[in-house]
Amino acid sequence: MAATFFGEVVKAPCRAGTEDEEEEDEGRRETPEDRDVRQQLARKREVRLLRRQTKTSLEVSLLEKYSCSKFIIAIGNNAVAFLSSFVMNSGVWEEVGCAKLWNEWCRTTDTIHLSSTEAFCVFYHLKSNPSVFLCQCSCYVAEDQQYQWLEKVFGSCPRKNMQITILTCRHVTDYKTSESTGSLPSPFLKALKTQNFKDPACCPLLEQPNIVHDLPAAVLSYCQVWKIPAILYLCYTDVMKLDLITVEAFKPILSTRSLKGLVKNIPQSTELLKKLMTTNEIQSNIYT
Partner 1 sequence: MASRYDRAITVFSPDGHLFQVEYAQEAVKKGSTAVGIRGANIVVLGVEKKSVAKLQDERTVRKICALDDHVCMAFAGLTADARVVINRARVECQSHKLTVEDPVTVEYITRFIATLKQKYTQSNGRRPFGISALIVGFDDDGIPRLYQTDPSGTYHAWKANAIGRSAKTVREFLEKNYTEDAIASDNEAIKLAIKALLEVVQSGGKNIELAVIRRNQALKMFSAKEVELHVTEIEKEKEEAEKKKSKKSV
Applying CB under 8 A, the residues found at the interface with partner 1 are: 5-6, 173, 182, 185-186, 238-239, 243-245, 274, 277-278, 281, 283, 285-288
Q: Are 234 and 267 in contact (CB under 8 A)?
A: no
Minimum Å gap between C-beta 282 and partner 1 is 10
275 CB-side CA count, 13 A: 9
Closest CB to partner 1 among residues 74, 243:
243
Question: What DSSP letter does each residue of 119-176 carry, written as one string?
Answer: -SEEEEEETTEEEEEEEEE-S---HHHHHHHHHHHH-SS--SS-EEEEEEEEEGGG--
Closest CB to partner 1 among residues 186, 269:
186
Minimum Å gap between C-beta 208 and partner 1 is 18
Closest CB to partner 1 among residues 1, 286:
286
**Beta bridge pairs of residue 127:** none
Closest CB to partner 1 among residues 121, 172:
172
Cis peptide before 267 (omega within 30 of 0): no
Closest CB to partner 1 among residues 50, 244:
244
Residue 140, Cβ neighbours under 10 Å: how many? Answer: 16
Minimum Å gap between C-beta 4 and partner 1 is 8
Cα distance between residue 263 and residue 91, in whole Å: 8
Closest CB to partner 1 among residues 13, 27:
13
Minimum Å gap between C-beta 18 and partner 1 is 21
Cα distance between residue 29 and residue 39, in whole Å: 16
Minimum Å gap between C-beta 91 and partner 1 is 26
Cα distance between residue 262 and residue 258, in whole Å: 9
Q: What is the DSSP letter of 225?
A: H
Minimum Å gap between C-beta 249 and partner 1 is 11
